[in-house]
């Protein structure tokens, strides 16, 4: 009996040690942070929201464009471009990146003009013959959540398409409590055929050539807004601030198959906020996890849910 008790005690002690080691290695739970999906409510509740945005003017006699992105603890990530803002006169070879506290950010921008750029395709109407996926009310062409007049991330189309031109408008939540390059800061994605993802995420104020200590070293710029996920950066960083409406205009040519063998790769052109950021890019495979899935000539379009509320509106496409 005594031997049985000793063995039982030993096993129990081993189990407790194993449990303790497991708990020690477990990551602490993610702390919830405030999220705003309405710009009026964000402006009323969070003073940094009013400072965040794009500015233009002159500094030391030189024309500049400045992007100010809110971080946590009254800090801001600030990019200063010579010549103007991205897609509007910028000199991509001359960029200054810095982290500033609120008072310094206000001083920097007080002599500049705040600008609220809009895509020249914002509000573009569906042409005759287009499939209107969503225009304020749920249709037979989508499934997912419709609330407050918007279609929310986590839905998808219902009818397979092949080659197409698509117009999409999206608005990212304001979530300054997460790091600027975090994958938990307004994350979604437009997934074509469950293969090719065009990333949708709040990386406003980040530039591919201007990383500093505000950006974790493990961050991959191919996960930023406008990227083909983990495949290719956009040619121009055209992300607008969170809670500003943005546009994607996409021309997609599906891959072609003969007897089950792919003979032609997919190709994609993307305009982000009216500017070409991917010009007829050949996709030898899908992107990210989509590269592991079989490619196809026809498929659905997924508005990825990644734990963040992203609003969509004015969704339509023309199948070619």
DSSP string computed for 134-172: ESSS--TTEES-EETTEEETT-EESS-B-SEEEEEEEEP
pLDDT band at 300 (very low <50, low <70, confident <90, very high): very high
> Could you tell me what percent of the chain has a pLDDT over 90?
74
* Res 206: pLDDT: 86
* Res 223: pLDDT: 86
* Res 33: pLDDT: 87
Q: 304: exposed, middle or buried (C-beta count within 10 Å: 0-12, 13-18, 19+)?
A: buried
- Decide if pLDDT at 163 tops 50: yes
Question: How many angstroms separate the Cα of 85 from the Cα of each of 172, 241, 307?
Answer: 20, 13, 31
Calculate mean pLDDT across residues 16-34. 59
pLDDT band at 73 (very low <50, low <70, confident <90, very high): confident
Q: Can you tell me the distance from the alpha carbon of 102 to that of 83, in angstroms, rounded to the nearest whole number?
A: 25
Residues linked to residue 65 through DSSP beta bridges, in sequence order? 56, 81
- Decide if pLDDT at 283 tops 90: yes
| Structural domains in the chain plus CATH codes | 39-115 (no CATH), 131-319 (2.60.120.560)
- Decide if pLDDT at 294 tops 90: yes
Helix (H) or strand (E) segment spanning residue 272: strand 266-272
Side-chain-facing half-sphere of 291: CA atoms under 13 Å? 9
Please tell me which residue, 32 or 18, carries the higher pLDDT value: 32
Helix (H) or strand (E) segment spanning residue 50: helix 48-51
- Decide if pLDDT at 77 tops 60: yes
Which of 20-24, 149-153, 198-202 is least confident? Answer: 20-24
* Res 184: pLDDT: 86
For the stretch 112-147, pLDDT in tens is 999 999 999 999 999 999 999 999 999 999 999 999
Calculate mean pLDDT across residues 269-278. 98
**How many C-beta atoms surround the C-beta of residue 303 within 10 A?**
26
- Decide if pLDDT at 45 tops 70: yes
Q: Can you tell me the distance from the alpha carbon of 203 to that of 223, in angstroms, rounded to the nearest whole number?
A: 9
Give me the chain's average pLDDT, please. 88
User: Could you tell me what percentage of the chain is helix, strand and coil, using 3-state DSSP and rounding each to the nearest 5?
Assistant: 15, 40, 45
Q: Is the overall model pTM greater than 0.85, yes or no?
A: yes
* Res 11: pLDDT: 46
**How many C-beta atoms surround the C-beta of residue 225 within 10 A?**
26
Helix (H) or strand (E) segment spanning residue 100: strand 91-101
* Res 5: pLDDT: 47
Calculate mean pLDDT across residues 68-74. 90
* Res 7: pLDDT: 46
Q: Can you tell me the distance from the alpha carbon of 244 to that of 241, in angstroms, rounded to the nearest whole number?
A: 6
For the stretch 170-195, pLDDT in tens is 999 999 988 887 888 888 999 999 99
pLDDT band at 320 (very low <50, low <70, confident <90, very high): very high
For residues 190 and 248, the answer to whether their CB atoms sit within 8 Å is yes
Helix (H) or strand (E) segment spanning residue 57: strand 53-59
* Res 183: pLDDT: 84
- Decide if pLDDT at 217 tops 50: no
Highest mean pLDDT pick, 89-93, 219-223, 236-240: 236-240
């Amino acid at each position: 009996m005594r031997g049985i008790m000793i063995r039982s005690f030993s096993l129990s002690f081993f189990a407790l040690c194993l449990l303790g080691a497991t708990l020690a290695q477990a990551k602490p739970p993610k702390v919830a942070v405030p999220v705003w999906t309405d710009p009026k409510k964000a402006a009323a509740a969070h003073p940094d929201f009013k400072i965040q945005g794009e500015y233009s003017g002159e500094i030391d006699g030189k024309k500049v464009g400045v992007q100010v992105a809110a971080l946590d603890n009254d800090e801001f990530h600030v990019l200063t471009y010579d010549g103007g803002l991205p897609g509007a006169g910028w000199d991509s070879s001359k960029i200054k990146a810095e982290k500033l506290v609120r008072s310094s950010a206000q001083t920097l921008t007080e002599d500049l003009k705040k600008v609220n750029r809009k895509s020249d395709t914002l509000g573009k109407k569906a042409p005759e013959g287009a499939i209107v996926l969503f225009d304020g009310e749920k249709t037979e062409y989508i499934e997912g959540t419709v609330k407050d007049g918007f279609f929310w991330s986590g839905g998808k189309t219902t009818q397979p398409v092949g080659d197409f031109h698509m117009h999409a408008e999206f608005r990212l939540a304001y979530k300054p409590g997460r790091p600027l390059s975090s994958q938990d800061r307004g994350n979604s994605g437009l997934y074509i055929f469950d293969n090719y993802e065009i990333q949708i995420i709040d990386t406003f104020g980040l530039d591919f050539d201007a990383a500093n200590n505000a950006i974790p070293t493990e961050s991959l710029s191919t996960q930023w807004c406008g990227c083909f996920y983990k495949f290719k950066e956009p040619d121009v960083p055209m992300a607008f601030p969170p809670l500003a409406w943005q546009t994607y205009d996409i021309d997609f040519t599906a891959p072609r198959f003969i007897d089950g063998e792919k003979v032609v790769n997919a190709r994609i052109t993307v305009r982000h906020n009216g500017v070409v950021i991917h010009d007829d890019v050949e996709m030898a495979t899908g992107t990210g996890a989509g590269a592991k899935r079989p490619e196809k000539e026809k498929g659905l379009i997924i508005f990825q849910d990644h734990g963040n509320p992203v609003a969509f509106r004015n969704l339509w496409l023309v199948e070619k």
